[in-house]
């Protein structure tokens, strides 16, 4: 019996369920996973999820290991710089491979032997077609490929040519080694894929020993086997490669126990690009200062910005392990950054755009030190500092307005505000320079209004931050923002955020910050979280990077910029099933108050507002739900239709749906994880007690397919399997478009994003 036992108390995602099963049946005695990056670029946020999964699984099981393997079979793009950066990033995330660092290039000799073995079995052949001819012979998704004219070369001739390829007798591209599989396969990966190519280039580890190099698909599975990997965990774009992975192991006669490939959804975050090619373009075309530019989605960029590894790990855990790709909102990542920093970094005062204030009734040579805590009361960390206060202080220019609108609570002529941790001041006079620009303010302070000892009885709504002009340290601040201002940039030029970096060279921080060690983090009150950049640290002036703002300023803007399709979906959700005629004056006072609030303040449809206001159960559920998730319109739409209908079917005391579940369900719709139609199915399962909405979506695989890379193969398969309908469609019977859409929806169990589906079908059918 195996002495391995599964972890306890962990969430049982589908990968761990597979591993539990394999250990229980003694398929393997222990677990070995691997993280196999190609050392041709720096790791990014997408890699972080894979690192956390593979190393996380190894940490969960006794005797388990996770290998770090460099899949370095392309000499033209790989080098030691990338190897070292990968190692540094994995360790920064908190994982250690121990003695299990491997390189695919160390297996070149063994891989070559496997290649000869396939040739001798007549399962591989040397093909002399050029690259363009190979592409043409491969066919399309709707048309089978053609056999290469070199496919039937005798085994001995293939062996001779392959050995001469290895000896360096041929030029790049003159010959390739291909697997002999099936040129009519619906899986394009199985149409005699390339296994080896000639490349006269020096390898960063092997030098000029080799001039032929194995391709990734040939290297991957065999490297897993050589290392004893049990569970080869890949992202979904490699799903079609699994058939080839198994074919290579089968034909190389690899016996059990052997590795098996499993796929999970990759981590896609909006307002980002994670293509290595695009990231390299950003660097090489000077959009950013390098791979570790704090705006980059690379792990080195995040580290340089000041993001903590704990925040990255917590974010990856929150995303979960799913089988369907989806887009994660950048705001969710930023939430975990704030959540982690809020509990561990000290508070301090800083002024970015200084405006001088002279407090005229404060003694000229007097100064005092105000005791303030480094941490808020709800953070279990102790520590305080002394903030100097004097006659001259700086405030942020944004905290003063000469002609303020109604409801403005910061400083204005004749107005009063409280200085954070200090006194209430009143603006008496505005001093301007000859150009009319405000030069400084003259104020007075009330000495009995000191924070913690205020005896004035004044109620002041506005509180602003400040620093003492005579004591503050001059620093440089870099305000970093999202690299792109569109959710899904197709090119770098499209949506590149020119305001993603703003440099402020004349900022000031309180003295307690000035002497901090490089790498220190602070929350500058009211401004955000900041990091003392150790790379740009210099004695003359410290440089602080803004890690993240205190609040999400993008979500509200994003809600205002919904696509027409998303707006239509929300309108359908919010549209009442029946029009209800009513006279507001006839409503009871308490119901009328609710109705007015829902209809006027929250802008909910009249019919929906009435339905909810009239029913105590519905209004109570509505109030509790919007307190958890702030989207009253969508919540009202669901409650006034689906919930109200369910209540009619059941007695209220037998009806149970929690505000937490409903809020979670609406959030899944908002984030486009599921469609409205699927949300109704999920609600039905929730009411049956089958779990929370997120659990049901995960268990039943109901996530909406928003990734073209996942949906495109299904579209291609449907088109490939219906050649007659394709021909009729192209002859003018365009109504068949609905047939193809229906078939894709059927294959995806209704999970295909309709907008994306229509776009792909139009593209493929044209």
Q: Which residues are catalytic?
A: 38, 266, 276
Distances (CA, A) of 187 to 192, 193, 196, 238: 11, 11, 20, 12
Contacts of 94 (CB under 8 A, 6+ apart): 309, 310, 313
Distance, CA of 368 to CA of 366 (rounded, Å): 7
Among 548, 44, 554, CA closest to 278: 44
Query: Tokens 């755009």 belong to which residue?
Result: 353
Distance, CA of 43 to CA of 302 (rounded, Å): 11
Q: What are phi and psi of 477, to 5 degrees?
A: -125, 135
Distance, CA of 517 to CA of 307 (rounded, Å): 17
Distance, CA of 385 to CA of 455 (rounded, Å): 24
Q: Interhelix angle for 659-670 vs 616-628, to 10°?
A: 60
**Per-residue buried b or exposed e for 388-424, using 16+ beta carbons within 10 Å of the residue's own CB:** bbbbebbbbeebbeeeeeeeeebbbeebbbbbbbbbb
Among 159, 176, 156, 170, CA closest to 116: 159
β pairing state of 231-235 and 260-264: parallel
Among 281, 230, 289, 300, CA closest to 48: 300
Among 624, 595, 633, 629, CA closest to 611: 595
Side-chain-side CA neighbours of residue 235 (13 Å): 19
What token pair was written down for 655? 């009806």
**Residues 629 and 635 sit within 8 Å (Cβ to Cβ):** yes
**Is 178 buried (19+), middle (13-18) or exposed (0-12) by CB count in 10 A?**
buried
Q: For 66, left (φ over 0), alpha (ψ -120 to 50), or beta?
A: beta
What token pair was written down for 681? 């199915």
What token pair was written down for 380? 């279990």
Q: For 433, left (φ over 0), alpha (ψ -120 to 50), or beta?
A: beta
Distance, CA of 152 to CA of 143 (rounded, Å): 22
Distance, CA of 309 to CA of 94 (rounded, Å): 7
Query: Tokens 């509180």 belong to which residue?
Result: 463
Side-chain-side CA neighbours of residue 439 (13 Å): 6
Distances (CA, A) of 192 to 151, 254, 643: 9, 20, 55
What token pair was written down for 80? 């030691």
């Amino acid at each position: 019996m195996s002495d391995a036992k599964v972890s306890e108390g962990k969430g049982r995602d589908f990968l761990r369920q597979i591993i539990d099963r394999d250990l229980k049946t003694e398929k393997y005695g222990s677990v070995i996973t691997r993280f196999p990056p190609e050392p041709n670029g720096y790791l990014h946020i997408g890699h972080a999820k894979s690192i956390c999964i593979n190393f996380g699984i190894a940490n969960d099981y006794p005797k388990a290991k996770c290998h770090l393997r460099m899949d370095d079979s392309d000499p033209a793009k790989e080098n030691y710089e990338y190897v070292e950066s990968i190692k540094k990033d994995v360790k920064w995330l908190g994982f250690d491979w121990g003695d299990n660092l491997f390189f695919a290039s160390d297996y070149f000799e063994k891989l070559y032997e496997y290649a000869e073995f396939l040739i001798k079995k007549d399962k591989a052949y040397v093909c002399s077609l050029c690259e363009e001819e190979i592409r043409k012979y491969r066919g399309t998704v709707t048309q089978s490929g053609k056999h290469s004219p070199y496919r039937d070369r005798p085994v001995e001739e293939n062996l001779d040519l392959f050995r001469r390829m290895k000896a360096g007798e041929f030029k790049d591209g003159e010959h390739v080694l291909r697997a002999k599989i099936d040129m009519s396969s619906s899986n394009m990966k199985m149409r005699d894929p390339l296994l080896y190519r000639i490349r006269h280039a020096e390898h960063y580890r092997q030098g000029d020993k080799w001039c032929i190099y194995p391709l990734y698909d040939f290297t991957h599975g065999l490297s897993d086997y050589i290392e004893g990997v049990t569970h080869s965990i890949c992202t979904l774009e490699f799903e079609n490669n699994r058939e080839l992975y198994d074919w290579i192991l089968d034909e190389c006669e690899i016996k059990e126990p052997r590795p098996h490939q499993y796929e999970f959804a990759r981590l896609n975050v909006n307002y980002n690009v994670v293509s290595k090619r695009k990231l390299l373009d950003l660097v090489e075309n000077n959009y950013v200062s390098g791979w570790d530019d704090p705006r980059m989605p690379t792990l080195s960029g995040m580290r340089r910005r000041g993001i903590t590894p704990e925040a990255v790990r917590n974010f990856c855990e929150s995303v979960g392990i799913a089988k369907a790709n989806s887009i994660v909102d950048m705001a969710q990542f930023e939430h975990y950054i704030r959540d982690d920093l809020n509990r561990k970094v000290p508070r301090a005062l800083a002024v970015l755009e200084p405006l001088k204030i002279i407090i005229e009734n404060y003694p000229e040579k007097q100064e005092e030190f105000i005791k303030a805590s480094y941490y808020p009361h709800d953070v279990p960390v102790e520590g305080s500092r002394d903030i100097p206060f004097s006659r001259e202080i700086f405030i942020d220019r944004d905290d003063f307005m000469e002609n303020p609108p109604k409801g403005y609570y910061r400083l204005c002529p004749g107005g009063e505000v409280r200085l954070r941790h200090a006194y209430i001041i009143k603006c008496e006079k505005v001093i301007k320079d000859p150009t009319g620009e405000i030069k400084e303010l003259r104020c007075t302070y009330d000495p009995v209004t000191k924070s913690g000892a205020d005896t004035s009885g004044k109620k002041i709504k506005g509180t602003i931050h400040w620093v003492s002009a005579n004591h503050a340290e001059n620093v440089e601040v870099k305000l970093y923002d999202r690299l792109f201002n569109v959710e899904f940039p197709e090119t770098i030029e499209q949506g590149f955020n020119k305001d993603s970096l703003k440099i402020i060279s004349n900022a000031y921080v309180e003295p307690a910050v000035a002497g901090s060690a490089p790498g220190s983090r602070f929350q500058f009150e009211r401004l955000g979280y900041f990091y003392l950049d150790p790379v740009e640290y210099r004695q003359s002036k410290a440089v602080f990077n803004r890690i993240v703002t205190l609040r999400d300023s993008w979500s509200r803007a994003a809600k205002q910029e919904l696509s027409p399709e998303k707006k239509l979906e929300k309108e359908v959700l919010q549209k009442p099933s029946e029009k209800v005629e009513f006279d507001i004056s006839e409503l009871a006072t308490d119901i009328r108050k609710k109705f007015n609030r829902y209809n006027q303040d929250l802008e909910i449809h009249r019919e929906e507002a009435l339905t909810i206001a009239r029913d105590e159960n519905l209004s109570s559920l509505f109030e509790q739900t919007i307190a958890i998730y702030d989207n009253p319109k969508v919540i009202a739409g669901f409650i006034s239709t689906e919930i109200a209908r369910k209540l009619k079917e059941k007695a209220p005391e037998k009806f149970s749906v929690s505000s937490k579940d409903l809020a979670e369900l609406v959030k899944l719709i908002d984030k486009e994880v599921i469609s409205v139609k699927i949300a109704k199915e999920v609600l039905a399962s929730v009411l049956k007690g089958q779990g929370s909405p997120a659990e049901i979506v995960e268990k039943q695989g109901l996530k909406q397919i928003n990734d073209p890379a996942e949906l495109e193969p299904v579209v291609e398969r449907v088109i490939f399997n219906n050649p007659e309908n394709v021909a009729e469609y192209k002859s003018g019977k365009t109504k068949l478009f609905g047939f193809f859409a229906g078939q894709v929806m059927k294959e995806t169990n209704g999970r295909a994003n309709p907008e994306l589906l229509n776009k792909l079908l139009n593209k493929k059918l044209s």
